[in-house]
Amino acid sequence: MSLIRWSPLWDPFEQMDEAFTRLPAVSSALKAFTPAVDIYETDKAVVVETPLAGVSPEDVKVSVEKGVLTLQGESKKEHEIEEKNYYRKEVRSGAFYRQVALPTAVAEDKVEASFEDGVLKITCPKTQPAHPKKIEIKVNKKK
C-alpha cells in the first residue's frame, strides 16, 4: 500500500463540488430556491404565509389539489453583475416550487391569496372532511 502525502493545495471536496455544479441538472437546481412558509390554523381556515420580497405577484401561481398546496413562480433579476465580481451573493433569484400538505380538509374552490409588503398570504377555508359512508350488505339466498 502506498501512502499519499497530504497537500493543502489539493482539496477533493472542492473538486467534487466543482464536478457537481458542472452537471446540468444540479446547476439548474442550485439556481432555484424553496421559499420558507409559515402555516397556522384559525377557527375557520388554514393560513399559509411566505415571504416573497422582490417577486412580482404576476409571476406566482398558487393551486390546491387533493389537500396539497402548490406554490410556483420565478424571481427575476433586472440586471445582474457578472458572477466573478460578487463579494457575496446571498439573495436568490430564479424559479421556485414548493408543495405543502395541508393539515386539514379545506374548500379548495374557495382558497384566496393576497400579496402585501412582500408577503404572500393564502387563506384556505376549512371544510368538513368527507365521512366514510356505511354500506349495508344485502344477502341473497339461493333457492
pLDDT tens over the chain, length 143 residues:
666 666 666 666 677 777 766 665 544 444 567 889 999 999 999 999 999 888 888 989 999 999 999 999 988 766 555 666 667 766 677 888 999 999 999 999 999 999 999 899 999 999 987 778 888 888 888 87
pLDDT at 20: 65
Q: What are phi and psi of 21, to 5 degrees?
A: -70, -20
**Rounded distance between C-alpha atoms, residue 94 and residue 74, angstroms:** 5
pLDDT at 42: 93
pLDDT at 80: 55
> What is the CB neighbour count within 10 angstroms for residue 20?
13
Place of cell 420580497: 53
pLDDT at 28: 46
* Fold of the 34-77+92-128 domain: Immunoglobulin-like (2.60.40)
Q: Which amino acid is at 132?
A: P
CB 79, CB 18: distance < 8 Å: no
**Rounded distance between C-alpha atoms, residue 117 and residue 131, angstroms:** 40
**Rounded distance between C-alpha atoms, residue 60 and residue 77, angstroms:** 15
119: Cα separation from own chain's centroid: 15
Annotate 45-83 with DSSP letters as a single string: EEEEEEE-TT--GGGEEEEEETTEEEEEEEE--S----G
Helix (H, G, I), strand (E, B) or coil at 110: helix
Q: What ranges do the domains of the chain cover?
A: 34-77+92-128
Helical H runs in the chain?
12-22, 24-31
